[in-house]
Amino acid sequence: MVDTTIMAKILDAEIFETEWLVTGRVNPAYFSDKFEFREHGMELEGIENYARFVHNLYDQATVRAEVVSTLPCPDHADQITCTWRLSGTLDNGDPIKAQICRTIFTIDTYGIGLITYQETVSEVSEWDMLLSSFMPFLNGTITAGDAPPVPTRKPPVNPLKKDRFGTLLANVQSSFSLLYTGALCV
């Protein structure tokens, strides 16, 4: 059985460093071939489709995914929740209301510990996001205001990369995965 506490630390460090939730710069080594993603009623299959989708959805010059925390879910032994702040602009130029999101990763805890499912939910309702996008002057009046900034935190350490051997092992694993799945992500 996979230790979700260690996997949560790995994901925390990886997402903190690459902000893959908005950039698509994801390490495919952590994902199952049967990976599924869901957000706002949209569903995708496969990590490559997910990576392309998020990279093309956001303006890469402005978008941010600032990690607050990444922790195992106390009520679900196979889940990890990443809490993060989304801000910036969509690729079409529309502003994004700064908001707190929660991404729930489901881990195959009885296999080799890969992510099989990911779902992201926002603390802001869909109607609020839509209204704020078209009429940003309503932020904080009729619609909810922007989420507060994320407190500065020290970059987390990926347990796989703590020492030279761990770094070498992680790099070999990552390179193998990229070769196996083909050129992935931006």
C-beta atoms surrounding 162 within 10 Å:
11
Pairing of strands 115-122, 31-39: parallel
Containing H/E element for 93?
Answer: none
The pLDDT tens digits for 41-99 are: 889 999 999 999 999 999 999 999 999 999 999 999 999 999 999 999 999 998 888 99
Report, as an integer, the average pLDDT of 6-10. Answer: 94
Among 81-85, 126-130, 160-164, the range of highest mean pLDDT: 81-85
Average pLDDT over the chain, rounded to whole?
Answer: 85
